[in-house]
Structure 1
Amino acid sequence: MKFKKILLPLDGSPLAEQAMAPAIRMAVDMSAEIVLLHVVVPLDIDLVLPEASLPQATKEAERYLAAISARFAPAGVNMTTAVVVDFNTATAVINCAKENDVDLIVMSSHGRSGLTRWRYGSVTARLLRQATCPVLVIPDQTDNEPFAFRRILLPLDGSDMAAQALEPAVALAQALSAELVLLRAAPLPFMVEELMTPERRIEQIEAEVCAKALAYLEQIKASLTAEHNLPVKTAAIIGSAADVIIDYANEHDVDLIVMNSHGRSGILLWTYGSVTEKVILGTDRATMVVRRKSPAFLRKHWT
């Protein structure tokens, strides 16, 4: 898998523009093109005087995107711009991605109004649920260090659904010369959590569960190492999936978490709204959500 075209929605704020640096880094390393998008959302006055306000807002948006493109021109990335008038920002982004055959949407977790506008609000939530390509959400950058993806975390739960995130994660690790970490959060059987279970027996079961999870990860690691010559690490930790992922990312300096929108239990477990949502809301790391493939795609490519 190769990301050939990256869509970057910008709302005119410095917060949203924080996604530029990682997007350009990825575009350079993957020889990709960047499409800069600004969505002009009509206001009430625009409906009364559309002949005056909307054309002016569109021209201002075009000048803004041209200035951004010129500012980052030294990076040598091919950039195109698009200005769309739409009442719904998320719909405009999704449609633009489809019309331009976009492989990846990159956007900041913050927008014009900081936490109240783009911080996993309606725009980001809809993109994560409905975009047909992966969505990479970049957190607020509080320091001036160059943005880099040195360590990529890929949580796997043993399902084909979750494993669909392998391909983009491997592609990124190769292009960015990053280390790939395969993580399995291993929950204990319900009966083990009961107070009546002896502590020694609990420890034994934990060891067995972790060993089984590691064996699964090591098998994937062997395949990746042989086929792609990637630096890969594995880890299996007892605990709930979201907590394990967030804690591991914080404790091991993970730069990017790559997850599928669905996992072992399909729509009931790893949908945005459960594990994936909890991770996105609970981490300050960049997070890429890969939308699950259709059953028809799975039958064609995984059987």
Structure 2
Amino acid sequence: MALGDVVLVATDLSESADVAIKLGHEYAERAGGKLVVCHVVHEVLRSAPLFPQAVQADMEAVIHAESRAAAAVEDRVKEITGRPSNGFEVRIESGGADAAILRVAEEVAATLVVTGSRGLTGIARLLLGNVAERIVRYAHCPVLVARSHARTNKVLASTDLSELSQPGIALAGQVAAMQGATLTVLHSLDILPAPAFGFTVPFGGAPVVPPPELIEQMRTGADGVLAGIIERMGMKAERRVTDGDAATAVLRTAEELDAELVVVSTHGRTGLARVALGSVAEKIVRGAHCSVLVARSH
């Protein structure tokens, strides 16, 4: 099943969501897939058995709000994508935004969920909206956190060389092939000690730093493993092996390459483990200057 077979876009009709609509449209169009756009109206119904007229008024208000939202979403999607009214499906839901979007994703069997990030620039970029964050954590399929970025046709995938990270590499290869983009696969050797590493450092001890020869051997070995993974997947990709904290290395490399997309894998497997978004993935989703595609490792 292709990534763009059933694309669900979550929109709150904000500027950030407009980017999500645009990218979701592109993914669905490339795959000849279905585009579903979902907007959630806040539910305001009260429980007032002694005043049924109040409940009736609330119901009418919700119905009116949903009707207006449906028209607004349809107009926005047609304006951004150029699709006709019958070229996409609009879903208007009520209740909690993240729960509603996740429910619709399951109902339509989404192969990709696209959501905007409210972070814009600077420190605000770190303030990923709670709704987007929960969608990334709980969705059953890959999630694209969309950010506006110039088209550079450069995709960066990160891997810790484990089997759990390989779905992300495969997904990055699929996206790069669809877009005709250059793919770079990055692994970072997180072996150098951070400042004040270990119990002895604050008391005058020195952190243990591997000798340069050993670091070079590790780098060569990692590059060989990386080459083997890429070869087994039958992909064409550039390889990079760097040093340092993995999330920092990915964010730095994405900036250096001017990548328009970063692809990472979560480490959740099934059930409750799905909520365990890895700390590296979380930092990348929050801190990247471009869109981030989160692949689900099952």
Normalised to the residue count of structure 1, the TM-score between the two structures is: 0.80
- d(CA) in 2 for partners of 1:223, 1:273: 25
**Aligned-residue offset at 1:169:** 1.5
Counterparts in 2 of 1:273 and 1:188: CA distance versus 1, 3 Å: closer
User: What residue number does 1:247 align with?
Assistant: 252
Alignment of 1:19-168 (within 5 A): 19-43=20-44, 48=55, 49-72=57-80, 74=82, 78-86=87-95, 88-110=96-118, 119-139=127-147, 141=148, 147-148=150-151, 150-168=153-171
Cα pair distance change 1:23/1:196, threshold 3 Å: closer
Q: Give per-residue Cα distances to partners, 1:144-199, cap 9 Å, x unaligned.
A: x7x53611111111211111213322211111111111111112276xx883768x
Structure 1 stretches lacking a partner, 5+ long:
294-303
Structure 2 distance, partners of 1:196, 1:167, is: 37
RMSD across aligned positions (CA): 3.0
The SS at the match of 1:82 is strand
Aligned partners of 1:15, 1:261: CA distance in 2, in Å? Answer: 23
Structure 1 residue 251 displacement after superposition: 0.9
Rounded Cα–Cα distance in structure 1 between residues aligned with 2:241 and 2:20: 31
- Bigger CA drift: 236-245 or 14-23? 14-23
The aligned counterpart of 1:220 is: 229
- Change in CA separation of 1:62 and 1:217 when aligned onto 2, cut-off 3 Å: same
Per the TM alignment, residue 39 of structure 1 is displaced from its structure 2 partner at its CA by: 0.5
SS across alignment from 2:93: strand
Counterpart residue type for residue 102 of structure 2 = I
| Equivalent in 186, 203, 206 of residue 195 of structure 1 | 206
Structure 1 contact 156–182 (Cα < 8 Å) conserved? yes
1:280 aligns to 2:285 (yes or no): yes
Matches for 1:222-241 after TM superposition, within 5 Å: 222-224=231-233, 227-228=234-235, 230=236, 232-241=237-246
The amino acid of 1:126's aligned partner reads R
Query: % of aligned pairs identical?
Result: 22
Q: Which residue of 2 aligns with 1:301?
A: none
